[in-house]
Amino acid sequence: MKRKAGVVEEQHSENQDNQGKKKKLSDVSPSMRDRFAPNLFSPDSVKKYSSAYANSGPYKHAVVSGLVNDALLRSVRREILDNIHFTPKETDIYKIHQSGDLANLDGLDPAALEKLPSLLQLRDALYSSDFRGWISEVSGAGHVSGKKTDMAVNVYVPGCHLLCHDDVIGSRRVSYILYLTDPDLRWQPSWGGALRLYPTNERTGNDGKKYQVPREMWSKVIPPAWNQLSFFEVRPGESFHDVEEVYHRKMDVGMEEDGGRVRMAISGWFHIPQEGEEGYEAGLEERLAEQSSLQQLQGGKADQFDEPQTCWLGDADKFPEEEGGDTDENCNGEDEGCLTAKDLELLLQYMNPSLLTPDIVDELNDHFADESMIQLSSFLHPKFGDQLREYMATMDANEDHEHTRKFRCARPPHKHRYCYLQKTAESVAEPTNPVDRLLHSFLPSTAFRKWLSLVSGLSVRRTAVMARRFRRGLDYQLAQGHESEPQLEYTLNVTPSAGWGADDTEEHDGGADDGVRSHSRSQNDNVMGGDKDQNGLYEENGRNPPMGEHDGDDNVGGYELYMAGDDMDDSSTAASVAQVPASVQSHTGAGQRRPAKSTSHSDPAVYRSAEDEEDDGILFSNPASWNTFSLVLRDAGTLKFVKYVSARAQGDRWDFTGSVEVVDEEPPEIQEE
């Protein structure tokens, strides 16, 4: 929306009046170098850090201890604690408390700015010509901009995290993080919160091109420390990193021993030079966008390296013929979707018998026709459920369980990481235990597909089936879109542990009336973002970073979430693009988390706030639980993710998940009379 010229001129006049006051606050020190540690700019220091940077791995980076004048940084920390408002934010990829954009301090009114003089000094020092020159020389990354500043304060309290990403967005050239942890209480590595760097493997694609794909685990761990700077050049497909979860303390550890484990840091980026600055190259930003890893790795061409790949089972055109080939008297000559006596015999070994009665199947079909989804509790047959739960509890408690060792690790980590066991066309397994019986006998069976067809009212064909384990403190599935024809997707939750935010009461004999549930979002209400003041940064009475005890959020993640996607017109962000509940200002480096509804695509380094949107885009939520089943008709463009499982969880998330192709049956032609 365009503003009237008079309004613009009036604001410009006010800004000029304020600049004098701001310059007085900014120029307290006669030299920018005085704001840094002594000898930082000496030739020996530059040589030392340049050598360390050049010889570092898994990609080039540097760690500088004692970067800033200690007194100045202590003053900065105190100003932040007293005057800056923090907003809790959670998406598929992060959970943090974050300030507004500190690069926009000049936009604050003088009364607010007067409370942040040291922070303003620090910002100006970090983007001064002296320090930008130091960064450029040490990293060898080239000139960086002093016009385009980009920084924010992120606070990680217990449970907070930032998952794997590479920071490649827009015009970023160097990424940095300056820690403001408690200067009088040494941060312990066992508390978590470390910056972790991922190595990559070069892979050759089917097109003959080379792709850098991150390995599933990190190889470099950099724990936080007071007044420590870490930085690295942002490189497409290479600079993958995450922030380790800040772990909750044990029950017998008091706050006086760890100060609440508050990982505070200023993070940001040095951008490529802008027009008029030294080193500016016309068209460079556009060229960088072309090689962005958000396009290269998430845009589809490198999907060939993803594990697991979908493995379809069955005939794409029809149901497999029944063994024996005889017509079943139960069907009375009806269509191929009819459940035969042999089908019912198989299903009754695994499913709650009430879910197979005609009346209940009709009830489920009506519900699915209205909602395009159903959730069922007490899905399994009580006898089989008891056997499975005992077996699953053993697997959950024993990392070396013989069955657990068969699981593979999903990769790459900028999309997902979890353990999986896949049913393939070649896999032949005697169903000797409950897990194998589900994976190899029940879920891929023609009988179960027929039941899905009856419940959904849709004609179905091939299926893909997989068992998954999301390990606490490790695993997740970032938001990924579905770009092909609609398909049925189901999840059978078999998590034996409690504490996931859903009903933990075990139901063995629930009838259909008790077993059918409409979808509910109540278990995820506590992940919604908080409010900001009008500046998005400063709150008059706000002392809002959750110092000390964590914020009381007992959400341990592990929930599966379906969200409405964009128009999906930008395939460069097809993976890892969801927001809970909507797109908000973010300076994590993880990229824009796509909101439920978007009308424009602006600079991806500038995040749009959607706090006023009424529709948060959540379609369906499915927490980890025991013996529950969900069935969803997933349309093209719908996003889905499984939230990172906190180390605080009482166990791992276990489930069986499947996809089923839906046949697009055209209605019969109406003959003209």
The span from the CA of 455 to the CA of 10, in Å, is 64
Class of domain 339-521+618-662: alpha beta
**CB neighbours (10 Å) of residue 134?**
20
Rg (the chain; Cα; Å): 28
Dihedral sign of CA atoms 401, 404, 406, 409 in order: negative
Q: φ and ψ at 368, to 5 degrees?
A: -65, -35
CA angle at 306 for the pair 300 and 311, rounded to the nearest 5°: 100
The span from the CA of 43 to the CA of 245, in Å, is 38
CA angle at 396 for the pair 392 and 398, rounded to the nearest 5°: 115
In which residue are the tokens 């993710």 written?
A: 641
The span from the CA of 77 to the CA of 634, in Å, is 47
SS3 441: helix
Q: φ and ψ at 34, to 5 degrees?
A: -65, -15
Q: Considering all CA atoms of the chain, what is the largest pairwise distance in Å, rounded to the nearest integer?
A: 95
424 within 8 A of 418, measured Cβ to Cβ: no
Please, which residues bridge with residue 480 across strands? 575, 640
Spatial neighbors of 535 by CB under 8 A, at least 6 apart, are 100, 107, 108, 109, 112
| Consecutive H or E run containing 470 | strand 460-470
The span from the CA of 493 to the CA of 560, in Å, is 10
DSSP letter at 304? G
CA angle at 591 for the pair 589 and 594, rounded to the nearest 5°: 150
Please, which residues bridge with residue 656 across strands? 467, 492
The span from the CA of 134 to the CA of 138, in Å, is 6
**CB neighbours (10 Å) of residue 25?**
18
372 within 8 A of 630, measured Cβ to Cβ: no
592 within 8 A of 573, measured Cβ to Cβ: yes
**In the numeric block, which tokens belong to residue 209?**
């091109």
Pairing of strands 151-156, 94-98: antiparallel
The span from the CA of 412 to the CA of 306, in Å, is 6
- What dihedral do alpha carbons 270, 273, 277, 282 form, nearest 10°? -170
Please, which residues bridge with residue 351 across strands? 380
Of the CA atoms within 13 Å of residue 160, those in its CB half-sphere come to: 25
**In the numeric block, which tokens belong to residue 98?**
């974050």
Domain ranges in the chain with CATH number 2.60.120.620? 29-304
Looking at 1.20.1730.10, 2.40.50.140, 2.60.120.620, 1.10.150.530, the CATH number of the domain 29-304 comes to: 2.60.120.620
| Consecutive H or E run containing 270 | strand 263-271
3-state secondary structure 82-151: HHECCEEEEECCEEEEECCCHHHHHHCCHHHHCCCHHHHHHHHHHCCHHHHHHHHHHHCCCCCCCCCCCE
500 within 8 A of 649, measured Cβ to Cβ: yes
Q: What is the pLDDT of residue 300?
A: 59
DSSP letter at 423? -
61 within 8 A of 135, measured Cβ to Cβ: no
247 within 8 A of 261, measured Cβ to Cβ: yes
Domain ranges in the chain with CATH number 3.60.130.20? 339-521+618-662
Q: What is the pLDDT of residue 437?
A: 95
Count H helices and E strands in the chain, helices first.
Answer: 15, 27
629 within 8 A of 491, measured Cβ to Cβ: yes
The DSSP string of 168-185 is --TTEEEEEEEE---TTS
| Consecutive H or E run containing 640 | strand 639-642
pTM: 0.84
* Polymer length of the chain: 673
Which parts of the chain have pLDDT scores under 70?
1-30, 252-255, 291-301, 316-336, 427-429, 502-553, 566-616, 665-673
The DSSP string of 228-249 is EEEEEE--TTT--EEEPPBPPP
Spatial neighbors of 170 by CB under 8 A, at least 6 apart, are 271, 285, 288, 289, 603, 604, 605, 606
640 within 8 A of 630, measured Cβ to Cβ: no
